[in-house]
């Protein structure tokens, strides 16, 4: 061979956009492309970016294969670099062209390390390695390093995972579940993290028990969204509740969580639960006056099917559906990250419920942007979140072996940092 290595620069065009955004498929294809060419795979590292795009590299004993994709263009840029003459990188090229369903590709081969330009150096190889280790006597062990990344304009959250457990597209959104190594199974909607097995209890305990124990007399509760099941699971811990109505627009969210987050979706068969797979906005419009003591809007971010839940018209209808002393609770975004939406939400609630009846409280959720998440507490009557029976709350927390909520957290959650207070008072 006249060079140390062969480097093929590849561009694949008109690939399947779906496949170009599928980190599991791409990682599997790149590894198989290397193995098909006769390479020895050492490890792989791949990242999925939200909302789309994959980057990754497969390290082989003979060098590497690397890729970055642009699903919106059906395009992939690939580097195939092999050293020596034992591996033919063109075999990998042909394999990937089929795996990515590309209509065509273009390529350029470079010979790296032209032998005519190199001089062999004399050196003591034993000085560069531990001679007692005998590294070549051990078989190469392939290790995977695949990452899901939710990336926004300025920040990103990456979680290492062992593969994708669920992937389906509904008329509303893409529903996926990944088996993360740090947080267990994770539900994502359109590439955004919704909940994980390890920390979902923070969100679900705080969105339910704060209003339930502040009100103290809730008989009927309505949940809009919340198809993962965690909110109704927590509500149904309260024995005095007579009925919980859950309105979830997307049946696939329920299906995915029943299959892969069963601890979260454990209450779907509860006799007090009425489950409706339909549009929550439509349900609220058709709901009678004074129908519920508590309404929880357990929505995703203000995009996709949840976008219509972030309007004054919707919250006016919620107000109408509440009893005279009813409470509405919503997730209200990150005050640090989604500042503009956060401010707009509270201005909207204050205009409907009155300034003195709207309160903000916080919780620490590691897998949400910035780790600080907010909830709103809006009262139609005289219920106040800091006027509650602490002994009852303490006993409830102990009896149900809760992981986050207790009487002290209930009160402390309403102690806001100065920057949040300033946002809430901003005109």
CATH assignment of the domain containing 273? 3.40.50.150
For the question of residue 238 being annotated catalytic, the response is no
Cα-Cα-Cα-Cα torsion 396, 399, 405, 407, nearest 10 degrees, comes to: 50
Cα-Cα-Cα-Cα torsion 184, 185, 190, 193, nearest 10 degrees, comes to: -30
Task: Judge whether 422 is annotated as a binding position.
Answer: no
Q: What is the pLDDT of residues 18-73, one digit of tens each?
A: 999 988 899 999 999 999 999 999 999 999 887 789 999 999 999 999 999 999 99
Flag whether 158 is in a domain: no
Q: What is the pLDDT of residues 312-327, one digit of tens each?
A: 999 999 999 999 999 9
Flag whether 151 is in a domain: no
Q: What is the number of structural domains in the chain?
A: 2
Q: Is the pLDDT of residue 137 over 70?
A: no
**Hey, which bits of 198-321 come out as E strands?**
220-225, 243-248, 273-277, 292-298
Mean pLDDT of 87-91: 94
Flag whether 169 is in a domain: no
- Which of 22, 190, 250, 298 is catalytic? The answer is 298
Query: Are 246 and 312 in a shared domain?
Result: yes
For the question of residue 298 being annotated catalytic, the response is yes
Q: What is the mean pLDDT of the chain?
A: 92
Task: Judge whether 269 is annotated as a binding position.
Answer: no
Distance CA 197, CA 182 (A): 10
Flag whether 160 is in a domain: no
Q: Among residues 82, 112, 146, which one ends one of the domains?
A: 146
Distance CA 358, CA 424 (A): 10
Distance CA 342, CA 209 (A): 22
Phi, psi of 189 (to 5 degrees): -120, 120
Rounded to two decimals, the pTM is 0.80
**41 three-state secondary structure:** strand
Flag whether 416 is in a domain: yes
Cα-Cα-Cα-Cα torsion 413, 417, 423, 426, nearest 10 degrees, comes to: 110
Q: What is the pLDDT of residues 198-249, one digit of tens each?
A: 999 999 999 999 999 999 999 999 999 999 999 999 999 999 999 999 999 9
Query: Are 350 and 275 in a shared domain?
Result: yes
For the question of residue 360 being annotated catalytic, the response is no
Q: Is the pLDDT of residue 300 over 80?
A: no
Query: Are 363 and 248 in a shared domain?
Result: yes
- What does the pLDDT read at residue 48? 86
Task: Judge whether 280 is annotated as a binding position.
Answer: yes
Flag whether 322 is in a domain: yes
- Which of 22, 25, 50, 83 is catalytic? The answer is 83
Q: How confident is the model at residue 310 (pLDDT cuts 50, 70, 90)?
A: low
Domain residues for 398? Answer: 200-424
Flag whether 296 is in a domain: yes
- What does the pLDDT read at residue 303? 44
Task: Judge whether 279 is annotated as a binding position.
Answer: yes
- What does the pLDDT read at residue 306? 47
Query: Are 401 and 286 in a shared domain?
Result: yes
The dihedral through the CA atoms of 130, 134, 138, 140 has a sign that is positive
For the question of residue 214 being annotated catalytic, the response is no
């Amino acid at each position: 061979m006249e060079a140390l290595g062969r480097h093929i620069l590849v561009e694949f065009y008109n690939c399947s956009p779906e496949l170009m955004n599928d980190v599991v498929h791409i990682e599997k294809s790149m590894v198989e492309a290397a193995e098909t060419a006769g390479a020895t795979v050492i490890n792989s590292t791949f990242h999925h970016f939200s909302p789309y795009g994959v980057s990754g590299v497969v390290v082989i004993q003979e060098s590497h294969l690397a890729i970055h994709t642009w699903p919106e263009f059906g395009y992939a840029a690939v580097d195939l670099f092999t050293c020596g003459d034992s591996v033919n990188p063109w075999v990998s090229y042909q394999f990937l062209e089929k795996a990515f369903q590309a209509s065509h590709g273009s390529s350029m081969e470079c010979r790296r390390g032209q032998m005519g330009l190199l001089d062999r150096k004399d050196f003591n190889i034993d000085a560069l390695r531990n001679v007692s280790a005998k590294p070549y006597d051990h078989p190469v062990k392939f290790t995977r390093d695949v990452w899901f990344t939710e990336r926004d304009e300025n920040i990103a959250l990456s979680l290492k995972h062992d593969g994708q457990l669920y992937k389906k597209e509904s008329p509303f959104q893409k529903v996926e579940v990944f088996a993360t190594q740090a947080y267990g199974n994770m539900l994502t909607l359109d590439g955004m993290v919704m909940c994980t097995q390890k920390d979902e209890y923070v969100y679900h305990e705080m969105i339910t028990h704060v209003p339930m124990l502040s009100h103290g007399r809730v008989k009927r509760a309505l949940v809009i969204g919340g198809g993962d099941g965690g909110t109704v699971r927590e509500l149904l811990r309260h024995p005095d509740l007579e009925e919980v109505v859950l309105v979830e627009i997307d049946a696939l969210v329920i299906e995915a969580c029943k299959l892969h987050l069963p601890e979260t979706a454990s209450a779907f068969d509860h006799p007090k639960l009425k489950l409706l797979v339909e549009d929550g906005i439509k349900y609220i419009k058709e709901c009678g006056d004074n129908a519920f003591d508590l309404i929880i809007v357990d929505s995703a971010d203000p995009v996709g099917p949840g976008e219509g839940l972030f309007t004054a018209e919707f919250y006016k209808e919620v107000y109408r559906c509440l009893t005279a002393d009813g409470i509405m609770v919503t997730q209200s975004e990150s005050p640090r990250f989604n500042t503009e939406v956060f401010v707009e939400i509270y201005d909207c609630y204050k205009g409907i419920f009155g300034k003195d009846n709207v309160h903000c409280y916080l919780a620490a959720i590691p897998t949400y942007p910035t780790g600080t998440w907010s909830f709103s507490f809006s009262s139609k009557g005289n219920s106040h979140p800091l006027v509650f029976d602490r002994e009852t709350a303490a006993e409830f927390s102990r009896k149900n072996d809760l992981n986050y909520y207790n009487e002290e957290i209930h009160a402390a959650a309403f102690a806001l940092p100065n920057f949040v207070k300033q946002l809430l008072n901003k005109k």
